[in-house]
Chains A and B, each alone.
Chain A
Amino acid sequence: MTLSEAKQEIVVTVNGEPHRLVEGGTAHDLLVAIGLDGRPVAVEVNEVVVPRASLPECVLRQDDQLEIVTLVGGG
């Protein structure tokens, strides 16, 4: 593989913590990498909700801010 073909890594923020992934990776790829793709979660990218069906098309960019949330107990 030449240098020009090697994929760059980008860094995004997930729940306040930095995460690295391959450039061109999608929000779905990120969920899989973290192990959350089978879990009841919702995803926000840069303060906009990305529906589950759209996650595979949501290509992440450097410095994107993600929130991955779930339901918990509350009043």
Chain B
Amino acid sequence: MADAVMDGAAIDGGETPLRVGGFTLTSRLVVGTGKYASYAEMARCLEASGTDCVTVAVRRERLLNAAGENILDHLDVSRYTLLPNTAGCFSATDAVRVARLGRELLRDLGNAGSEWVKLEVLGDQKTLLPDPVGTLEATEQLVADGFTVLVYTSDDPIIARRLKDLGAASVMPAGSPIGSGQGILNANSLSICLEYLKDGDPEYPVIVDAGVGTASDVAAAMELGVDGVLLNTAIAHAAAPVRMARAMRAACAAGRDAFLAGRIPRKRYAMASSPETDRIHSASAPTV
């Protein structure tokens, strides 16, 4: 029964899964594989999160210790779809190179994720904010090269719409800087992003990526109507990462249900929950 409570799909049987390009994901959380204390802890956290899609990065192989561990020794690639990222790229040229290398790695593995990429083109090291110009350029090039592009961007609705127009399969606005844990800093902008991206296209997937700090951030994002949340640091660097992964799973399901349930409007003044008529009152009591 506890599992049914945690599994959003079980609660709302009619809901469709998350679809991005040609990919179907059963979980609305995408979880990163970086920053964990150990590969074993990473594996436990991914399991607890309920995700079926994890991001990975592409880096130079060690040339000296070829017998060392590889992350693939600890990732069940038949269970998780791998989403390679272009993290650490500060130019469109580098991002395109890394995306192509990621594609080759996943083709070699036979993993379903070989034709997609989480595109990041960063502007500077301190903020890790996206470079909008490089991001637009790389999106265009990778779409032309046949990639399904999930693109990391800011919460600026104009750039978001341009990225969608260039063919990005999903636009992924940051809630706040990568790893900052500040959650959704500008819900107004994020709402406008959703409005623009889903205009005439309600199924277009919008995934909040970056800045999640704790479970309520995930719930808040889902309540706004985003289709999924991508996070890494909030789990990996929590004091108890596996417990936080469980919390994220529950928050994602709760936020999604709340969104679909249709919340009450915010009102300035009160509206009683108990009947206003047929109350008993003393002769001396106030009558309002």
Contact = CB atoms under 8 A, between A and B. Distances in A.
Interface residue range, chain B: 35 or more
A9 to B, nearest CB: 18
B56 interface: yes
Interface of A: 14-17, 34-36, 39-44, 47, 49, 51-52, 67-75
Nearest to B104: A42
B104 A68 contact: no
A69 B105 contact: yes
Given A71-B72, A72-B58, A42 B63 contact: no
A70 B63 contact: no
A44 B56 contact: no
12 contacts: A15-B60, A15-B61, A39-B61, A39-B66, A69-B61, A70-B59, A70-B70, A73-B56, A73-B57, A74-B232, A75-B34, A75-B55
Interface of B: 32-36, 42, 55-61, 63, 66, 70-72, 82, 84-85, 87, 97, 100-105, 107-109, 178-179, 230-233
Nearest to B74: A73
B contact patch SS: mixed
A49 B84 CA distance: 16
B144 to A, nearest CB: 16
B101 A72 contact: no
Contact of B63 (A14, A40, A52, A71): A14
A71 B35 contact: no
A56 to B, nearest CB: 15
A47 B72 contact: no
Given A42-B101, A51-B107, A68-B61, 16 more contacts: A15-B63, A36-B63, A42-B104, A49-B97, A49-B100, A49-B104, A52-B104, A67-B60, A67-B101, A69-B101, A71-B71, A72-B56, A74-B55, A74-B85, A75-B87, A75-B232
